[in-house]
Amino acid sequence: MGVKFKDIVNPESIKFDDLKGKIVALDAANVIYQFLSSIRQADGTPLMDHNGKVTSHFSGILYRTTSLIEKGIKPFYVFDGKSSVLKKGTQIKRSEFRKESHEKWKIALDEGRIEDARKYAVRSSRMSTEVVEGSKILLELMGIPYIQAKGEGEAQASYMVDKGDAWCVGSQDYDCILFGATRTVKNLTITGGRANLELILLKNVLEKLKINRYQLVDLAILVGTDFNDGINGIGAKKGLNLIKKYDDVYKVLDHLNVELEVDPQRLRDIFLKHEFISDYELKWGNPDRDGVIEFLAGDHDFSEDRVVTAIDKLYKLRKIDNSQSSLEKWF
DNA sequence: CTGCGAAA
DNA sequence: TTTCGCAGG
């Protein structure tokens, strides 16, 4: 989801090595949603424990976070707080889409159409409160910090990058650049062999498009965001030309003689005047080895061997300097 | 998505 | 040793 800027941004290809020693603010909603979508069986059934509770996200968090740390990257997660009332429309649409997809999934399963089943199952992925709370428990046990944002997690993460407390935001969405993230890295999820990491520098985007950040936000408003529908028939490219020609969203709307359902100023405020917390502390603590094993293997039916292998990777690094109470020395 | 054993 | 395919929970 998010703003559709794919056609106008100019990502730079980078490698994991370029992120060595860097602090990365992971957009928790985005990352966990990817786990819920992709960590499934062929027919779309997610991983579940004996109580029928979904555990796909635990698998993702355990292996991905561990692998990032092995690469010398310091990740932390940023969770969404309360979202703007303007997001309601998007949320309702998504909820309906998930519901429809869930029904199509069941039908496809009944009819034995496995590929369709998986497709619809992925679309029915939902990040429940339970998923969020479970994720926080696991992160805490792993000694990985997380921040609870007041509003949009992307906004908080972007603020932290802008401030210099994180080097980049890790997200698949382009919304971060609207929130002012100077650096966004896409595809941080695929930690496999030939990863296709993309670095999006806000500065480069603005230079290439020859507009300023306020105009970039206005452009997003024209194209459509999670908080408004945008104008029919206006995509990133047409919108860009209009913003360049008429300067701002109000003048473009005047010229086209159309109105948005929301005052653009309210939308601008979401991206430019968002709330954030600044009294956070990023501390990579000691992984609670037994705690992780008990939580994943004991409570959620993970293979103990696999959990031990993963958590020992974290643990092994800590043993290099036992006197250190945090993971700071690791990097 | 990632890990792991089987096959190449 | 590297790649592949499927299970994981």
Provide the pLDDT confidence category of residue A323 given band limits of 50, 70 and 90.
very low
- Residue A35's nearest nucleotide, by CA–C1', is B1
What average pLDDT score do residues A47-58 get? 98
Residue A29 pLDDT exceeds 50: yes
- Residue A42's nearest nucleotide, by CA–C1', is C6
- Please check whether residue A227 is in contact with residue A84, taking contact to mean a CB–CB distance below 8 angstroms: yes
- Length A300 CA → C7 C1' (Å): 16
Which positions on strand C lie below 7 Å from a protein C-beta?
A: 3, 7-9
Neighbours of A193 (CB within 10 A): 5
- Length A309 CA → B4 C1' (Å): 12
Strand order in A183-186's β-sheet?
A12-14, A197-201, A183-186, A168-170, A23-27, A74-79, A146-148
What average pLDDT score do residues A144-173 get? 97
Q: Give the tens place of pLDDT for each residue, A112-128.
A: 999 999 999 999 999 99
Q: Which fold has domain A210-272?
A: DNA polymerase; domain 1 (1.10.150)
- Length A97 CA → C7 C1' (Å): 29
- Length A189 CA → C3 C1' (Å): 21
Q: What is the pLDDT of residue A325?
A: 46
Q: Give the tens place of pLDDT for each residue, A259-306.
A: 999 999 999 999 999 889 999 999 999 899 999 999 999 999 999 999
pLDDT averaged over every residue in chain A = 93
- Length A192 CA → B7 C1' (Å): 21
Q: Give the tens place of pLDDT for each residue, A235-270.
A: 999 999 999 999 999 999 999 999 999 999 999 999
pTM for this structure?
A: 0.94
Q: What is the pLDDT of residue A319?
A: 53
Residue A108 pLDDT exceeds 70: yes
Q: Is the dihedral of CA A122, A25, A228, A259 positive or negative?
A: negative
- Residue A188's nearest nucleotide, by CA–C1', is B1
Residues in reach of strand B, judged by a CB distance below 7 angstroms, are A 34-35, 38-40, 59-60, 63-64, 66-67, 189-192, 305-306, 309-310
Residue A318 pLDDT exceeds 70: no
Residue A83 pLDDT exceeds 90: yes
What is the percent of chain A with per-residue pLDDT over 70, rounded to a whole number? 94
C-alpha triplet A249, A255, A258: angle, nearest 5°: 75
Residue A93 pLDDT exceeds 70: yes
Q: What is the pLDDT of residue A37?
A: 97
Task: Specify the CATH number for A12-205; select among 3.20.20.80, 3.40.50.150, 2.40.50.1020, 3.40.50.1010.
Answer: 3.40.50.1010
**CATH 1.10.150.20 domain span(s) along chain A:** 210-272
**CATH 3.40.50.1010 domain span(s) along chain A:** 12-205
Q: What is the pLDDT of residue A316?
A: 80
